[in-house]
Chain A
Amino acid sequence: MIHVQIASEVTADGVRGARWVLLEAAEPPPSDAVDTRATAVAAPAVASQSSGPAPASMGRDSVADGLRLRVLKALVMVLGLGAALWTAAVQIGPPAPAATPHVLPVLPPPAAPAPVPTVPASAVVPQSAADTPAVPASAGLPRLTALL
């Protein structure tokens, strides 16, 4: 810290009434000690009509800061996108596999119809003449319906 004394009063013989204040010490400078651009800015527009001093051009530190900021932004975006995809996968489910070309399932060939068992005449249960109607002579074909 740097001690600074600002005189509060000027007299005919000198100054008096110093007020103390501490200034931060400067950071260790790089190879070039004085920033000439800042010196040019210090050239006064002390009482000028301009609205304010123009900022000094960006130095190496500012460029490095800008790159670092861009990297951080990209990293945050990637992490956010990844989190969004993971959340969607958990809640909705993973996306369906890629659809194969539409192919109709191959149906098995129709099975050969099973032979209808012929019921011999002797196996027919005798029934009363009133129940069973007269069977015509052409009743050699198997009966497909059953008498309930």
Chain B
Amino acid sequence: MPTPPTSQPPATLPWHDEADVLGVRIRVHFFDPAAADAAPDFVGRQLPILAGSGATLLAPEGQRQPYRAGALLAQPDAVLAHGDGLLCLTYKGGDGRLVQRALWQMQWRVDVMLQCIASAMAVAGQTQRPTAALWRGANLLAQFDPGVAALECLATNVSAARHYWRALQVVSPAQLAAFCEPRLRALPGLAATAAGIGSVAVRDDSVPD
């Protein structure tokens, strides 16, 4: 009797912490900035958690390609192919401050998070491939898992944001995020998570603060 094929579960990544903020599950990975900057390739430098994986840049490093889905136009810092999906990475424009492990939720910027998700929506809409939204700070890599409420709020307010900002045809992720953030905060049940309440700590003490 043939043995049924055993499917290997996908290798999980070593996230250090996660929390829910405004209906978005955030998984964070802390790393040593000096060690990351010393990596020879782009993935090792900007995505230390995926160092050695098969993720590849779709465009040369530094070139920001436009992606458009409907009236949403984004130019993410980097888009990588990873397996059957894509990774939409934002890493430019940060202030360079190190994030403390114990206080990362307090220092979290919701507008940055929503911009990353909106950029991923534009990439996914144009390429028609599942896309993950990630943000890389000075010593922290975050992956965003938006819930239904956050996704619907962003997706259904593109036209309204365009009219609000008086944009001719398209709206940027920053504009969409600024428009949607107060609406998300007003949704019942999400405001309590805006300050990082409800964190599910998955701590890994191997990385120093």
Contact = CB atoms under 8 A, between A and B. Distances in A.
Interface of A: 2-19, 21-27, 29-30, 34-35, 37-39, 41-49, 52-53, 55-56, 58-62
Given A8-B145, A42-B75, A53-B174, A23 B121 contact: yes
A7 B130 contact: yes
Interface string B106-132: 000101100111001100110011111
Contact of B166 (A8, A13, A22, A59): A59
A48 B112 CA distance: 9
A48 B72 CA distance: 20
A18 B120 CA distance: 12
A58 B109 CA distance: 29
A59 B166 CA distance: 8
B34 interface: no
A134 to B, nearest CB: 118
Contacts of B175: 41, 53, 55
Contacts, number: 197
A4 B66 CA distance: 16
29 contacts: A4-B69, A6-B133, A12-B12, A13-B83, A14-B82, A14-B85, A15-B85, A15-B87, A16-B130, A22-B155, A23-B70, A24-B71, A26-B68, A27-B169, A34-B66, A34-B73, A39-B73, A39-B172, A42-B73, A42-B172, A43-B64, A44-B115, A45-B93, A46-B112, A46-B174, A49-B95, A55-B167, A56-B168, A59-B167
A45 B95 CA distance: 11
A38 B112 contact: no
B165 A26 contact: no
Contacts of B75: 39, 42-44
Interface in B43-97: 50, 53-54, 64, 66, 68-75, 77, 82-87, 90, 92-95
Contacts of A6: 117, 120-121, 124, 130-133, 146, 151
B86 to A, nearest CB: 7
A35 to B, nearest CB: 5
Nearest to A42: B172
B13 interface: yes
Interface in B128-171: 128-134, 137, 143, 145-146, 148, 151-152, 154-156, 158-159, 165-171
B208 interface: no
Given A41-B175, A47-B109, A62 B132 contact: no
Contact of B165 (A11, A22, A55): A55
